Homo-oligomer: A and B are copies of this chain.
Amino acid sequence: MEEVGFLGLGIMGKAMAMNLLRHGFKVTVWNRTLSRCDELVEHGASVAKTPAAVVKKCKYTIAMLSDPSAALSVVFDKDGVLEEICSGKGYIDMSTVDADTSSKISEAITSKGGSFLEAPVSGSKKPAEDGQLVILAAGEKALYEEAIPAFDVMGKKSFFLGQVGNGAKMKLVVNMIMGSMLNAFSEGLVLADRSGLNPQTLLDVLDLGGIANPMFRMKGPTMIQNSYSPAFPLKHQQKDMRLALALGDENAVSMPVAAAANEAFKKARSMGLGDLDFSAVFEAVKGPEKSS
């Protein structure tokens, strides 16, 4: 894999494609708004006018779209991936989509003879720029192995998780744990504050102990300032909690802590906080102020 197509040059996609270029890959890019291709071209990328044109030109095509509908659109619409995908070509969708969307794309690609890999990532803008993403791949094992050189420059680690859908499931499990932890953290901050302890000191103590982690370190200081600029919107976190609980429902897994955390995120949504950062669940944990 020395030459790859790349569909989608949003914040994430642009950084990922740039890393491919920097490490000597020949990259043919496409983006709905073509002007976003310019910077990549300056660094040596070629441009194609449609997803189909990218796939026609390249043996391997990577996609990094913003949501399920965009991911479906570049495949199924006119001039889409399906028009040119065929035996011998691989399609790697690194967008974060639900398992159903992923399966739909997988079936369409493979029915045309192409091979398919879903490969959602863990990590946001900075890790994307630094080539430090964690890649959760699932689908065609042979394609995964061919893609390793590309994954190695975009991420610090990639995993092959088996059948299509497992990448999405792994993200749900991780995000569920994350959401419960953020609730536990919020409860601790409120308890400290109302018990006469300094929340900032709690942050300092936590950061020196066995449960110190980057999320507490990053979110804590802004939470105690009631500042929730959205890195990951609360409504998306709540959606992931819901989907993780639904996955548990399918498999008869009882998860009372995650369920309690989910209800707190729903409470936050009912307070109109869905578009803020997911750490705004802290406001729901604090609850309304006692009227004087």
22 A-B Cβ contacts within 8 A? Answer: A159-B201, A161-B198, A166-B197, A173-B195, A173-B197, A174-B211, A176-B188, A180-B180, A181-B184, A184-B257, A190-B255, A191-B247, A195-B247, A195-B250, A210-B214, A211-B213, A213-B213, A248-B266, A254-B266, A255-B263, A256-B263, A287-B288
Which of A9-17, A46-54, A141-149, A268-276 touches B? Answer: A268-276
Partner of A259, one of B161, B251, B262: B262
Q: Does A267 lie at the interface of the complex (its beta carbon under 8 Å from any beta carbon of B)?
A: yes
Q: Does A35 lie at the interface of the complex (its beta carbon under 8 Å from any beta carbon of B)?
A: no
1/0 per position for A233-258, CB-CB distance to B under 8 A? 00000000010100111111111111
Report the minimal beta-carbon distance from A162 to chain B, rounded to whole angstroms.
Answer: 7
Establish whether residues A157 and B257, one from each chain, have CB atoms under 8 Å apart when the complex forms.
no
Establish whether residues B255 and A191, one from each chain, have CB atoms under 8 Å apart when the complex forms.
yes
Task: Given A178-B211, A180-B257, A187-B255, output 8 extra A-B contacts at Cβ < 8 Å.
Answer: A122-B209, A134-B205, A170-B192, A180-B183, A180-B184, A187-B248, A195-B253, A242-B249
Q: Which residue of B lies closest to A188 (CB)?
A: B177
Report the minimal beta-carbon distance from A152 to chain B, rounded to whole angstroms.
Answer: 14
Establish whether residues A122 and B205, one from each chain, have CB atoms under 8 Å apart when the complex forms.
yes
Establish whether residues A257 and B183, one from each chain, have CB atoms under 8 Å apart when the complex forms.
yes
Interface size class of A (residues with CB under 8 A): 35 or more
Give chain A's interface residues, CB within 8 Å of chain B: 122-123, 134, 136, 156-157, 159, 161-163, 166, 169-170, 173-174, 176-178, 180-181, 183-185, 187-188, 190-192, 194-198, 201-202, 204-206, 208-215, 218, 242, 244, 247-264, 266-267, 269-272, 274, 284-285, 287-288, 290-291
A contact face: mostly helix, strand, loop, or mixed: helix
CA distance A252 to B194 in the complex (A): 8
Establish whether residues A287 and B258, one from each chain, have CB atoms under 8 Å apart when the complex forms.
no
CA distance A162 to B201 in the complex (A): 11
Report the minimal beta-carbon distance from A178 to chain B, rounded to whole angstroms.
Answer: 5
CA distance A254 to B259 in the complex (A): 11
Given contacts A176-B188, A177-B184, A210-B214, contact A201 B260 (CB under 8 A): no
Partner of A208, one of B134, B162, B247: B134
Report the minimal beta-carbon distance from A76 to chain B, rounded to whole angstroms.
Answer: 25
Establish whether residues A123 and B174, one from each chain, have CB atoms under 8 Å apart when the complex forms.
no
Partner of A271, one of B185, B208, B290: B290
Establish whether residues A291 and B270, one from each chain, have CB atoms under 8 Å apart when the complex forms.
no
CA distance A218 to B257 in the complex (A): 21
Establish whether residues B249 and A254, one from each chain, have CB atoms under 8 Å apart when the complex forms.
no
CA distance A79 to B136 in the complex (A): 51
